[in-house]
Amino acid sequence: MKNYKIALLAGDGIGPEIMQEAIKVFKLVEERNDVSFELLHADFGASAYFKCGHPFPDKTKAICDQADAILKGPIGLSHEASKKIPLDLLPERGALLPLRKRYNTFANFRPVFLPKALGHFSPLKPEIIGEGIDLIMVRELVGGLYFGEKEVGINERGLRYVKETLEYDEEQIRRVVHEAFKLSMRRKKVLHNIHKSNVLKSSVLWNEVLEEVALEYPQVEVKHLLVDAAATLLCLNPCQFDVMVMENMFGDILSDQGGGILGSLGLMPSACKGPEKSYYEPSHGSAPDIAGQNIANPYSMIGSVAMMLEDSFDMPEESRNVWNAMQSVFAAGYSTPDLSKPGSGVKMIKTGEFGDKVVAALRAMPIAG
Ligand code: IPM
Ligand code: MG
């Protein structure tokens, strides 16, 4: 029997509610498979700051260090509440970016997936959704503007100024681009390279390195696309995309647009891969406005569990079962108030009920092997 340690960082806002539902799935996966999970809870985010004075406490670091994989909930506070925390200890700067850096999670995979049957969630017209949206954005996650040198001060004209640098070396580009090609090989073998080489030198180098790596994957067709044009085409014709690869900041923005074309960021799980271990997280924020009401959909968190099963624990069949279980709950007409309006023919349920239904559907699925 395989034993895995999983660090659970519930985070802020709706984090603890949707984490509960992920735990139900871990428990059932254990029951159905020859595997055991040791679930290690740890404080992270603004809640950790208020409890122990730091958003990424040493105790949490130690737990994450010994874990085989990390499941992280959303973090962050409302704009108003954020003012109670010093700038550098805000959960984004003080916890999330240090987590990414600590485990060097250079490749972030964000599936943008909506089967045709769930097209009603999307703001796009049915003729645009066609047979469904099914693409994955691969975002570089530990370089670029996010981690570049920063300077603030007063310039010689007496004006406040700020300088942030966008830096990549070829190795940083190469490793994430390889991940995108490998993913393309397992899918449709079409890779969209998203860049801004008409303005940015960083994109010129990015494209150069990508072309070199492409020689190792001759079966993959590479299509180059400027990031601004990509934003338009994601709305006009999302079905042309299969795998898209891009640097950190572009990926932050376009992946939220990915959530937009699905109808909600609540439908966006993600995986952040490092050389030794990976962490998994919903792509959305902590939604403080609806926290504690038990109305947030746990899809992004349970989907992140599915990604963990496949990528960290080599359980692709069970991962597929978890995805299918979630889809079947939607297909049966159930939804939660954060995703759907009442009266739209939807059977409205709460966070916990959604998790229970996913678990029931998973229980009914045959185990492979
Ligand atoms: C994301 C988030 C983070 C990012 C924030 C919370 C710092 O928006 O994971 O996309 O900008 O990377
Ligand atoms: Mg983002």
Question: What is the Cα–Cα distance from 305 to 319, expressed in whole angstroms?
Answer: 8
User: With contact defined as beta carbons under 8 Å apart, do 70 and 98 qualify?
Assistant: no
Nearest residue (by CA) to ligand 1, atom 10, is 252
Cβ atoms of 145 and 162 closer than 8 Å: no
Q: Is 272 in the pocket of ligand 1 (CB under 6 A)?
A: no
Return the ligand number nearest the Cα of 249.
Answer: 1
Dihedral, 225, 230, 232, 237 alpha carbons, nearest 10: 90
Dump the DSSP string for 235-263: HH-GGG-SEEEE-HHHHHHHHHHHHHHHT
For residue 318 and ligand 1, the question of a CB distance below 6 A is answered with: no
Q: Tokens 């700038």 map to which residue?
A: 87
Q: Which residues are catalytic?
A: 146, 196, 228, 252, 256
Q: Cα separations (Å) of 79 from 53, 90, 288, 339?
A: 19, 11, 10, 23
Question: What pLDDT sits at residue 342?
Answer: 81
pLDDT at res. 369: 58
Confidence (pTM): 0.97
Nearest CA to ligand 1 atom 6: 92
Q: Are strands 132-140 and 243-246 parallel, antiparallel or unpaired?
A: parallel
DSSP E strand boundaries for 213-358 = 221-226, 243-246, 271-273, 278-280, 334-335, 347-348
Is 96 close to ligand 1, i.e. is its CB under 6 Å away? yes
Ligand 1 touching residue 268 (CB < 6 A) = no
| Ranges under pLDDT 70 in the chain | 369
